[in-house]
Structure 1
């Protein structure tokens, strides 16, 4: 299945971003952001949301505080945003092109979710989508310090699997995530807006 992209490479582990890659959660997340930010008379544009995709929520709150000269409490906002997200979770669907890859390689290669989202949010969404038992590892926002485009999260997954970075293939939709994969020394397939896959060039 992956030979059409990389005919000369046999990957030993597949690492998947979650939001916008495995699950089409981005509209639900943006809605949750704006419902939460309304309490502070702020909003987040779709373009900025996409540009910051892959960053942990706490980091985005810090950026918004700096940008607007406000002091949104990150932990409190996280809880508020999650409530709004859960309320719209029923509308979330999988990204078929990626889940087809997951189903094809499940049980044959180690599969990991590597995300900037919090573990309980990812687990709840996976349960909703019936993906509870599809992945061998979750690397979530709580598991590393430096968010994407730093390579830490992908390197942590590779180390956990005892697989070298050059033998890992990353699936990502966001620019920051693609940069993180390349910074980790990994090949990357990007999920485009039409949900098709293409090789992400450096």
Structure 2
């Protein structure tokens, strides 16, 4: 393990670092419409925020009785998402500030996401954060997606850290629950309004109940580094 004293920080990507959920919604809507499901709306999409793309498409395929195999649906959604994300995926200002500050202080950093590795790489390349976040884990690379802890444990392994030396930054209850199962502290910044009361966030050590509007990079940095931990 790395002997550096700096806490490792593992970021979720979609809805946490970048506002990509509208792209995922539109990509999913297009795929479902192509297979005869024309009433998929934003509210239904929010059920899957924080859930891996494969698990999402498996559930939607079963619920809507889509005949096409899940691998085909995943490929179609990934193509559509990459087209949308390639145009623009905004980074949350507070998160950019936090990443830059942690990087400057030599904290080991990683991204662990339910997105495909291709999507992770494409979004980070266009965000200006790619060079600061070279360690990346996709749910494609582990046995189980969130709320199982696999992606976070694999990120810790690649960073050379024990789980207890890592902090997760998450926007969704399944991700916060995955952090708990991994034995990691968690900063929670809910993406979906009203989700702050979800029991998945109960174990978060620092919760910004108002989401990105309330997020304070300085406060998060102090908590992660111990100055604000309780």
The bucket for the TM-score relative to the shorter chain is 0.7 to 0.9
CA deviation map 1:48-105 (0-9, x unaligned): 3223223222221211122223333222222221232233222320011111111001
Cα distance, 1:48–1:192 mapped onto 2, change above 3 Å: same
Q: What TM-score do you get using the length of structure 2 for normalisation?
A: 0.76
Aligned pair 1:46/2:59, yes or no? no
Given that 1:52 and 1:176 are in contact with CA atoms closer than 8 Å, whether structure 2 keeps it comes out as no
Q: Secondary structure at the match of 1:75?
A: helix
Cα distance, 1:98–1:32 mapped onto 2, change above 3 Å: same
Cα distance, 1:160–1:197 mapped onto 2, change above 3 Å: same
Stretches of structure 2 that go unaligned for 5 or more consecutive residues are 192-210, 221-230
Q: What number of residue pairs does the alignment pair up?
A: 190
CA RMSD of aligned residues (A): 1.9
Stretches of structure 1 that go unaligned for 5 or more consecutive residues are 1-9
Paired with 2:151 and 2:185, the residues of 1 have a C-alpha distance of: 15
Given that 1:110 and 1:136 are in contact with CA atoms closer than 8 Å, whether structure 2 keeps it comes out as no
Q: Which residue of 2 aligns with 1:103?
A: 100
Which of 109, 117, 123 is 2:115 aligned to?
117
Q: Secondary structure at the match of 1:15?
A: strand
4+ residue runs of structure 1 moved beyond 4 angstroms? none
Q: Which residue of 1 aligns with 2:75?
A: 79
Q: Which residue of 1 aligns with 2:24?
A: 29
Higher relative contact order (CA 8 A, sep 6+): 1
Cα offset for 1:40?
A: 1.4
Q: Which residue of 2 aligns with 1:4?
A: none
Given that 1:158 and 1:168 are in contact with CA atoms closer than 8 Å, whether structure 2 keeps it comes out as yes
Between Structure 1 and Structure 2, which shows a larger proportion of helix residues?
2
Paired with 2:143 and 2:215, the residues of 1 have a C-alpha distance of: 29
Range with greater deviation from structure 2 (42-51 or 187-196): 42-51
Q: Secondary structure at the match of 2:132?
A: coil
